Amino acid sequence: MADKQYRVKVYSLNEDQQWDDLGTGHISSSYVKHLQGTYLFVRSDSHDALILESKINSNTPYQKQQETLIVWSEAENYGLALSFQDTEGCHKIWEEICRVQGKDPSVEITQDLLEEFENEQLDEVLETNNVFELPNCELGKLEEISDFVTSVLTSPIRKERLALILENEDYIKNLLQLFHTCEDLRDTTGLHHLYEIIKGILFLNKTALLEIMFSAECIMDVVGCLEYDPALAQPKRHREFLTQNARFKEVVPITDRELRQKIHQTYRVQYIHDILLPAPSMYEENFLSTLTTFIFLNKVEIVSMLQDDANFLSEVFAQLRDETTDDDRRRELLFFFKEFCAFSQTLQPPSKDALFKTLTELGILPVLKIVMSMEDLQIRSAATDIFTYLVEYSPPMIREFIMEEAQESEDGNLFINLVIEQIMCDTDPELGSAVHLMGLLRTLLDPENMLATSSKCERSEFLNFFYKHCIHNFIAPLIVTTSEDICEGDNVVGSDKNNTLCALRFMRRMIGLKDELYNCYIIKGNLFEPVVNALLGNGTRYNMLNSAVIELFEYIRVENIKSLVAHIVEKFYKTLESIEYVQTFKGLKIKYEQEKDRQSQIRKNLHSILYSKILCRGTRVVEKKEEKCSKGNSEEGEAIIPPLENDFQDRYKFMETKKTKENEDKVDPPKGASSGGYKFASSHAAAANGTRSLHGSSTVGLMNRPNDEEKDKEDETPPRKRPHLSL
C-alpha cells in the first residue's frame, strides 16, 4: 500500500456538527515503527503538506458507504471522513483497515454502529463529492439511471443536487424520448425502468421539475411512463381514457385559451395524483407535498380567472334561471357550479369573501330555490352540495336572505320551508339527504354562530321568524304521529314507547341547555306531570324508559337547577317519595332543603344589614343636630342646654330600634317617661319608612301626642335647663 497512492478528499466534523473540507490529496498507509501502529497519511496535492495523520486503532468503528466513502470517529464530537475519487482506492484502504482490525473486508461496519450524529451528516460529504454524476441518458443505461434516482431519495442533499441537474438540462425531455423508443421496440424492461425513474423524479418534490413534466408537451408522456408499473401484469391504458373517455364539457364557452389549458392540466395532474401514483408509505408521506400544492395553486388560479370574467358567471346564472332550460343542460350547469364551489374552498379568506359576495349579488340563493324543488335527484343532490358550501361559508348570509324573502313573499313559499320539505320527503331508506339537510338546518338555528350588535340581534330575530313561519312545518309529522286520532290510551305521549323515549330525549336536551326561559316554560306547562306518570306507569320494570326518566331527574339534581328542583319537590315529591331503589329523589329533596335554608339565611343577613344601616344613619343625624345646636349656643355665649325633647325622642327611638332586634314582634311602650306619654312605632314600621324617618323629625317613630293647648302653653314658657339623660 505504501507504493501506490489514491486521490481523496478529507472532511472533519466540527463542534457545530457540520463537515468541514480539510482539502484534497493522496492517501497512503504504512506501519510506523516508533509509534507501533499502522497510520493513514494524506498529503496535499498543491504544497505536499500533511493533511491527515490517523492511526488505525483496533477498537475504532469504521464504516464504508456508497463504495467511495469511509467514515469514523476518533473522539467525542470529532469525526473524520474520506471521500475517494474512485472505488478502487476506497476498497484498498478499507482492506487495510479490516486487516489491522482483523475483520472481513466484505463487512461495511468494522465495529459497533457509528454515532447517530455521524450518520446524519454523511450526505453532506457527498454534496461536494466530485464523483456525483448522473449517468448519460441512453437506452442501455436506464437501469443505472433508475438505481441512481432511487438511491438519492433517502438523502435530502443528494435530492437537491439531482433536482438542480435535472432542472438545468433537458434530461427529462430526453428520458421521454427514450420512452417512445422503448414503446416502439416493445422493450418492457426499459419501460419498467422508466416508470421507476419518472416516479422518483416526482418524489424529488420540486416545483420546477413538476412544471417541466406537466407542461402541455410532456404530461401525456409522463402518464404513459406511469402506465408501466412493474407490479402490474399488463399496463393500464390511462392515456386512452384521458384523451377519449374523459371529455371536457364547456357549459358556457370559454374564450380564454390560457384558462382552458389550465383546466386541462389541473384535471390530468389530479388524475396522476389520485390514480397513477401509489399511496405513499409513512416514510414517503411528504414526497408528494409539492404535487399537492401544485394542484391547489392551479385551482386557485382557475377560480380567480373565472371570477374575473364578468360575463361567464352571469351567463351561467341566466341559464339556470331560465325556465326553458332542459333538465340535461341544467344538470351540467349545476355540476360545473358544484365543482367551481369546491375549487373556491382553496381561496384565501379575502378572495373567498369577494367571490361569495359576487355570487350573492348574481342571485345564487333564488336559483338554488328553483332547482331544489325539481324532481330530478341528481339536480337536487348537486343543489344541496352547493347549498352546503354556502352555509359552511356564511350562515348569517343565508339567514338574512331567508328573512328578506319572507318580507317580499306573498304566497308564503319560503326557501327554508322547502329545505324542511326535502327533509320530510326523503325517499332514501337510509335518509342520507335528510340527515345532510338536517345538519345544515341545525347550523342555521345554532345561536352560537348568530351575530349580535348594538343595532341588531340576529338570534332573537331569526328564531322568532323560524318559530312563526317554519316550526309548524317542522313538527307537523310529530304532531300527526302523536295526535289523539292515532295514539289512543293514557300513556305520556302516545302508545308507542319509541315516541315516549323521543319525547324524553327532547325534554332532556331542552333541560340540558340550562336556559331559564325553557325552565319557566316547563314549569308553567306542568310538563313534568306526564314524565312522572310515565315513570309510575312503567312500574318496577327496569328498561330504557325507566333509565331515561331516572337520568333526567338525576341530571337536574347533579346540576342543581334550582327552579326545576323546587318545582319537582313541591309538586311531585310525595308521589315519588316511595321510590327508594335510587337516591335521586331523596337527593332532590336534600337540594331543595339546602336551598331553602340558604335563602332563609340570606334574608336574615339582609335584615341585619338593613337594621345596622338604619341605626348608623340615625345616629349620625342625631349627632349632627347636637353639634349644630351646641355650635349655635356657643356663638350666642349661652350655657349649653340639654337636647330638645324631639331630639331626645329621636335618640330614644333608635335606642328602642336596637332593642327590638331582640324582640321584633312587639315592643311595649315604656312607662314613666319624662314630660308626658309617648307612643313608639315598631321596628318593622321604622324599617319600612327608613329613608324618610332619617331625614325629618315629623316621620320619626317616637311621636309626641300632647294636645294643642298644652303645646301652646309650652311654647310660651321660657326655656329652662334640664339635666341630660344618659343613653
For residues 371 and 494, membership in a common domain is answered with no
Contacting residues for 271 by C-beta, under 8 A, at least 6 apart: 223, 238, 242, 246
Let me know whether 163 and 282 are in one domain.
yes
Query: Does 354 map to a domain?
Result: yes
Whether residue 138 is found in the same domain as residue 269: yes
Query: Do 84 and 65 contact (CB within 8 A), yes or no?
Result: no
pLDDT digits (tens, 9 = 90+) for 286-332: 678 889 889 988 998 998 888 888 788 888 889 988 888 888 899 99
Domain range enclosing 358: 309-390
One domain, residues 112 and 153:
no
Cα separation, 586 vs 577, in Å, equals: 7
Q: Is there a domain that residue 642 lies in?
A: yes
Average pLDDT (176-191) is 94
Q: Are residues 150 and 283 in the same domain?
A: yes
**When comparing pLDDT for 486 and 381, which is higher?**
381
Where a domain ends, among 127, 145, 179?
127
> How much is the average pLDDT of 51-71?
84
Lowest pLDDT segment from 153-167, 281-295, 372-386:
281-295
Q: What percentage of residues in the chain have a pLDDT greater than 90?
A: 27
Burial 553-580 (b: 16+ CB within 10 A, else e): bbebbeeebbebbbbbbeebeeebeebe
pLDDT above 70 coverage of the chain, percent: 76
Separation of CA 82 from chain center: 52
pLDDT digits (tens, 9 = 90+) for 2-59: 456 788 888 887 777 777 888 888 888 888 877 778 888 888 877 778 888 888 887 8
* Domain closes at, from 341, 359, 390: 390
In angstroms, the CA 25 to CA 40 distance is: 12
Q: Are residues 141 and 232 in the same domain?
A: yes
* Model pLDDT, residue 497: 67
Grid coordinates belonging to 705: 301626642
- Answer yes or no: is 510 within a domain: yes
- C-beta contacts of 575-583 below 8 A and 24+ residues apart: 575/532, 575/536, 576/532, 576/535, 579/535, 582/550, 582/554
What gap in Å lies between CA 270 and CA 105, rounded to an integer? 50
Domain closes at, from 373, 390, 407: 390
In a domain, 10, yes or no: yes
Q: Are residues 114 and 154 in the same domain?
A: no
Query: Does some domain include residue 302?
Result: no
Residue 430 lies in a domain: no
Number of compact structural domains in the chain: 5
pLDDT for position 385:
93
Domain membership flag for residue 454: no
* pLDDT tops 60 at residue 541: yes
Residues 152, 282: one domain? yes
Is there a single domain that holds both residue 153 and residue 229? yes
Q: Which residues of 50-66 are buried (b: 16+ CB within 10 A; e: fewer)?
A: ebbebebbeebbbbbbb
Say whether both 145 and 101 belong to one domain. no
139 and 207 together in one domain: yes
706 belongs to a structural domain = yes
Average pLDDT, the chain: 78
Is the pLDDT assigned to residue 105 strictly greater than 90? no
CATH number at residue 85: 2.30.29.30
Same domain, 606 and 508: no
Estimate the crossing angle of helix 458-469 against helix 415-424, to 10 degrees: 60
- pLDDT grade for 692, boundaries at 50, 70 and 90: very low
Residue predicted with more confidence, 478 or 647 = 478
d(CA 502, CA 155): 61
Please compute the mean of the pLDDT values over residues 411-415 and round it to a whole number: 79
Q: Flag whether pLDDT at 460 surpasses 90.
A: no
